[in-house]
Structure 1
Amino acid sequence: MSITIKDVAKLANVAPSTVSRVIADHPNISGETKERVREAMKELGYHPNFIARSLASNSTQSIGLVMPSSADKALQNPFFPEVIRGISKGAHEKKYSLHISTGESLEEIFDGVVQMVQGRRVDGIILLYSRFNDKIIDYLLDQSFPFVVIGKPYKYKKEITYVDNDNVQASIDVTEYLIKLGHKRVAFVGGSLNLVVTIDRLQGFKHAILSNNLPYRDEYVKHVEFLKEGGREAITELLSLEKPPTALVVMDDLMALGVLNKLDEMGKAVPDDISVVGFNNVLLTEISRPPLTSVDINIFQLGYQAAKSLIDQTENQNQPVKRIMIPHNLVIRESCYENKQNL
């Protein structure tokens, strides 16, 4: 025989309505009562019927996640599993589930978002990226549907809650670190120019170069995919220049690992021949050869704060728009070296 709310209420010596409020984590129920009811639920092996609750409350208790590309491709980059881990933690604390977009193309991804919204499959959406002129953002604003962006929105900044790093300053910090090591020929390997994060980090790189009275060389700037193959492609082109760079700012660790692999194939030693810095500080940076100096952007916190902010929106329609900045720090390892020749 299945266990019901009435059975839990009887064991906890409370009314069935109190059990319902404890399940919903109602703020007006005391901590002592919540603990007693939860102990009774545990003892009896009672599990709430969240589908029935969703129908009754007009809430799905689910968050939609939208990738910048197909999930199969995006999840090759360690950034996304880690940011989803942060989102999952925030969602779990409020008993929300996750619904991940599975479209292969931008059109399929957009259609998936429309299905989430029109079918009321989720209570809100987190965009795991920020790109220029994104019609998904236009659509969500038009529908007045709750959403949060990880990354600075291209427009409507005063209307959209977002979680981000100060990517301009982070790029300044890492570029100036290389310049202080004596490098005058520093290159930048970035992602797609359709992504706001690329523009911000390129802006910081350019500012650091010019403010240190170094020439800004267009040929030292490469834009490739956020994959190992992109890093391999970029370093091949940069080392073919008449005056190749002595140091690289690579705006993603997976790309940086591609750079390290290709340099090893070419017989170039890191950091003796060329210094390399990445972004994101994923686990792979510690076990690469050599261990990679990287900007830690606190990926987990980006996801965790995004989830918390979105759930606040869904539970309180009067929640003000938030701009949440997650701090960064440079983790120095063994991939950078002082350029004593000052070339």
Structure 2
Amino acid sequence: MAVTIKDVAKLANVAPSTVSRVIANNPRISEKTKQKVREAMDELGYHPNFIARSLANQSTRVLGLVLPGSASTFSQNPFFPTVLRGLSEGAHEKQYALQMTTGQSEEEIYEGVVQMVQGGRVDGIILLYSKVEDKVMNYLKERKFPFVVVGKPYKFCEEITHVDNDNFRAAREVTDYLLELGHECIGFIGGDLNLVVTVERLLGYEKALRDAGLDLKNEYIIHEEFLREGGREAINELMQLTLPPTALVVADDLMALGVLNTLDEMDISVPADISIISFNNVLLAEMSRPPLTSVDINIFNLGNEAAKSLIQKVENPQDPIKRIIIPHEIVKRASCSKREKNA
């Protein structure tokens, strides 16, 4: 015979309604009572029927995830598996599942989101990006559907809960670091200019150069996709300049790996001939040759906090708008070196 809530309640010496509240992780139930009920559930081998509960509560206990591009981009860039791990742990902690939508075009992604929302498939949505112009974000805001953004919204920043790094400050700091090493010809390799993270990092880079009294050189700024091929194309273009940069700020470790591979093929030494600093501090930054100096943006925490914030919004629609800034740190390795003034 199947174990029921009443059986758990009897063993834990509580009311069946208390067991239901523990399953729903009701904050009004004390941790002591929750522990007692969960021990009874484990002893009896009781597993809640979340599908039945979801139907009764008109809740799916599923969070939708929206990626910025195709599944191939997701699979290639280590940022996404790491942020997904943070999302998964945050969701699992509150017994929510994740559903992902991707598409080969912005229209396909938009249609996927509409189907998730109007089909009642998810309780809320996490956007794993922030764009300057975004049809998806506008749609969710207009429908007043619960959503959280990983990144800084370009519009309505004070009206949208988001989890982000201070990308402007981080880019300014890494550019200052290269300036302190004696570099004045500093290039910037960024991603899509429709992504707010690219805009913020570009502005931080430009601010550091202006504060140092240096002219901005448009030819030193290249934008490509956040992939290894993007780094290859960017560095090929930069090294064809009459006066190539002696240092680079690269907006992503995977792009930086493409830069390193191409420079090696050109027989250009890092950091003897050119210094490189990048972002994300994924494992390949440590394992590259030479190991990359990179900004650790705590990717796991970005995802984890996004999941927790969305669940709070789903379970309490009156939850206030939040701006959560995840700290960053420059991890110095072997890809940057001091440049002599006469070099």
TM-score interval for Structure 1 and Structure 2 normalised by the shorter chain: over 0.9
Residue 80 in structure 1 maps to residue 49 in structure 2:
no
Aligned to 1:251: 251
Q: Is the 8 A contact 2:116 2:122 kept in 1?
A: yes
Structure 1 residue 72 displacement after superposition: 2.8
Of 22-31 and 294-303, more deviation after overlay is shown by 22-31
Is 2:135 the partner of 1:135?
yes
Give, in angstroms, the shift of residue 341 of structure 1. 3.9
**1:93 and 2:93 aligned:** yes
Greater shift after overlay, 293-302 or 27-36?
Answer: 27-36
Within the alignment, does 1:106 sit opposite 2:125 as a pair? Answer: no
Deviation (angstroms), 1:19? 1.5
* Distance in 2 (alpha carbons) for counterparts of 1:110 and 1:152: 20
RMSD: 1.2
* Aligned amino acid, residue 310 of structure 1: L
Contact 1:148 1:162 in 2 (8 A): yes
2:176 is matched with 176
In structure 1, what is the equivalent of residue 71 of structure 2?
Answer: 71
* C-alpha contact 1:184 1:342 (8 A) present in aligned 2: no
Amino acid at match of 2:237: E
Q: CA deviation at 1:104?
A: 2.4
Secondary structure of the 1:289 match is coil
| DSSP 3-state at the match of 2:231 | helix
Q: What one-letter code is carried by the residue in structure 2 that aligns with 1:87?
A: L
Deviation at 1:188, TM superposition (A): 0.3
2:159 aligns with 159
Secondary structure at the residue paired with 2:76?
coil
How far did residue 9 of structure 1 move? 2.2
CA–CA separation in structure 1 for the residues paired with 2:95 and 2:270: 46
Query: What do the CA deviations read for 1:28-57 (whole angstroms, capped 9, x no partner)?
Result: 323332222211211121110001111111
Match of 2:266 in 1: 266
Contact 2:270/2:335 (8 A) holds in 1: yes
Between 1:303-312 and 1:30-39, the stretch displaced more is 30-39
Distance 2:5 2:262 in 1: 62
Give the Cα–Cα distance (whole angstroms) in 2 for the partners of residues 240 and 191 of structure 1: 20
State whether residues 73 and 227 of structure 2, in contact with CA within 8 Å, keep that contact through their aligned partners in structure 1. no
Please name the residue that 2:201 is paired with.
201
CA deviation string 1:108-150 (max 9, x = no partner): 1111100111011111101000011201011001111000111
CA distance in 2 between counterparts of 1:153 and 1:36 reads 43
Instruction: Please give the alpha-carbon distance, in whole angstroms, between the structure 1 residues aligned to 2:216 and 2:119.
Output: 50
TM-score normalized by structure 1?
Answer: 0.97
Q: Following the alignment from structure 1 to structure 2, what is the Cα–Cα distance between the partners of residues 312 and 31?
A: 18
In structure 2, C-alpha distance between the alignment counterparts of 1:96 and 1:302, rounded to whole Å: 17
* Matched-pair contact (CA < 8 Å) for 1:54–1:61: yes
| Mapped pair 1:148 → 2:148 | yes
Question: What secondary structure does 1:317 align onto?
Answer: coil
How many residues align? The count is 343
Q: Deviation per CA, 1:132-185, whole angstroms, max 9, x where unpaired?
A: 120101100111100011111111112111111111111110001001101111
How big is the shift at 1:342?
Answer: 4.7
Cα distance in 2 for residues equivalent to 1:176 and 1:87: 33
Matched-pair contact (CA < 8 Å) for 1:253–1:285: yes
Matches within 5 A, 1:235-250: 235-250=235-250
Distance in 2 (CA, whole Å) between partners of 1:342 and 1:213 is 19
1:340 and 2:340 are equivalent in the alignment: yes
- Assess if the C-alpha contact under 8 Å between 2:66 and 2:101 holds in 1: yes
State the SS of the aligned residue for 1:149. Answer: strand
Which amino acid in 1 is paired with 2:209? I
State the distance in 1 between where 2:18 and 2:65 align: 33
Report which stretch shifted further, 37-46 or 6-15.
Answer: 6-15
State the partner residue of 1:316.
Answer: 316
Counterpart of 2:186 in structure 1 is: 186
Separation (CA, whole Å) in 2 of partners of 1:209 and 1:342:
20
Match of 2:28 in 1: 28
TM-score, with length taken from structure 2: 0.97
SS of 2:159's equivalent in the other structure is coil
Provide the residue aligned with 1:328 in structure 2. Answer: 328
Corresponding residue number in structure 2 for 1:225: 225
Q: For residues 253-272 of structure 1, what are the alpha-carbon distances to aligned partners after superposition, in whole Å with 9 as ceiling and x for unaligned?
A: 00001101111111111101
SS at structure 1 position matched to 2:98: strand
Distance 1:22 1:280 in 2: 38
Q: Which amino acid in the other structure matches residue 223 of structure 1?
A: H
Give the Cα–Cα distance (whole angstroms) in 1 for the partners of residues 172 and 15 of structure 2.
60
Distance 1:96 1:104 in 2: 27
Question: Which piece of structure 1 moves more, 172-181 or 297-306?
Answer: 297-306
Q: Which runs of 5+ in 2 are unaligned?
A: none
Query: Residue type of the partner of 1:247?
Result: A
Partners of 1:225 and 1:29 lie apart in 2 by 49
Deviations 1:199-231 (A, max 9, x none): 111111111112111221111000001000000
